[in-house]
């Protein structure tokens, strides 16, 4: 069963579903691009490691609990109380393994284009700070940068975050393209909820022409293979913030397909 929406499905923005969606998007974007760029280029899946912010609701991967074998050095004063020896605990911060796509030139191994699909962790707190640092570092290289943000919540993070985008006025998703040889000219796709996802330009190394990422086809493959029609209850509103206009359109769309959604609580 296909998604009931013509473009992005806002139910998939849910934080519990998104990790699976994100992994699928990365894999199928690479699958879609590989035949177009061979044999001169190769699309690979890379992985960054980010430490989770301890004040958020992340659980450390490992806790080591042990009793001190020997008392800690302390000043002993005759006749005064001596503290009991505590146990000590060593913990390791949770690591987030963040996949992305890099297109490399086969002959030289040089990275030509990096494709990022943003996650909730990229749009808040330390995770956002770490992403923006990597973003800035990449802009100092000769690699193109493509950012795909299919999350309608969180702080603006992609390169177009400071731009005033007025057309279309009701856009929810944002895809940006920064070419290494034209850093001051940013290309973007601003996509409303009710609109299909764009077929995006993916730059290579000039004079080679751009290739096309068929994002609608990639999303359809993700939805079908992921079996999300069996996981999502379309009779309930999505667990993500929507504007009043988006919610009205969502209800009408689902009702027209015999899927009813209740009002927001």
Report yes or no on 243 lying in a domain.
no
Does residue 177 belong to any structural domain of this protein?
Answer: yes
Report the 3 state secondary structure along 173-218: EEEEEECCCCCCCEEEEEEECCCCCCEEEECCCCCCCCEEEEHHHH
Give the pLDDT confidence of 153-197 residue by residue, as tens digits. Answer: 999 999 998 888 888 989 999 999 999 999 999 999 999 999 999
User: Does residue 88 fall inside a structural domain?
Assistant: no
* Counted domains in the chain: 1
The residues, ordered by sequence, that sit 6+ positions from 104 with a Cβ below 8 Å of its Cβ are 41, 42, 44, 110, 111, 112
Asked whether residue 155 is assigned to any structural domain, the reply reads yes
Query: Does residue 80 form part of some domain?
Result: no
**Each residue of 65-77: pLDDT tens digit?**
444 445 545 555 5
Pairwise CA distance, residues 214 & 220, whole Å: 10
Residue 33, domain CATH: 3.90.1570
DSSP designation for 160: G
Whether residue 145 lies inside any domain: the answer is: yes
What proportion of the chain, given as a percentage, has pLDDT over 70? 81
The pLDDT value recorded for residue 13 is: 97
140, 208, 38, 20 alpha-carbon torsion, rounded to 10°: 50
- Domain holding 142, by residue range, is 10-51+93-215
59 CB neighbour count, 10 Å cutoff? 8
* Other beta carbons within 10 Å of 126: 15
Q: Which pTM does this prediction carry? A: 0.82
Q: Is the dihedral of CA 55, 58, 60, 66 positive or negative?
A: positive
211 domain-assigned: yes
Residue 89 predicted with pLDDT over 80:
no
**Domain assignment of residue 85, yes or no:** no
Q: Report how far Cα 241 is from the mean position of its chain's Cα atoms.
A: 17
């Amino acid at each position: 069963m296909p998604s009931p929406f013509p473009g992005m499905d806002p139910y998939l923005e849910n934080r519990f579903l998104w990790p699976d969606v994100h992994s699928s998007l990365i894999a199928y974007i690479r699958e879609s691009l590989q035949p177009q760029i061979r044999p001169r280029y190769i699309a690979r899946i890379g992985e960054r490691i980010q430490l989770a912010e301890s004040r958020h609701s992340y659980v450390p991967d490992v806790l080591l609990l042990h009793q001190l074998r020997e008392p800690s050095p302390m000043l002993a004063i005759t006749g005064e109380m001596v503290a009991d020896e505590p146990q000590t605990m060593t913990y390791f911060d949770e690591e987030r393994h963040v996949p992305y796509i890099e297109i490399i030139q086969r002959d030289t191994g040089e990275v030509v284009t990096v494709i990022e699909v943003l996650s909730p962790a990229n749009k808040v707190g330390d995770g956002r700070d770490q992403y923006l640092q990597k973003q800035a570092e990449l802009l100092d290289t000769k690699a193109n940068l493509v950012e795909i943000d299919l999350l309608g919540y969180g702080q603006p993070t992609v390169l177009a975050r400071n731009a005033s985008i007025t057309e279309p006025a009701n856009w929810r998703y944002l895809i940006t393209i920064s070419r290494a040889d034209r850093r001051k000219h940013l290309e973007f796709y601003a996509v409303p909820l009710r609109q299909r996802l764009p077929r995006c330009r993916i730059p290579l190394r000039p004079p080679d022409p751009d290739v096309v990422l068929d994002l609608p086809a990639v999303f359809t493959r993700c939805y079908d293979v992921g079996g999300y029609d069996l996981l999502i209850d379309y009779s309930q509103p999505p667990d993500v913030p929507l504007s009043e206009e988006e919610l009205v359109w969502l209800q009408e769309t689902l009702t027209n397909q015999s899927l009813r959604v209740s009002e927001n609580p």
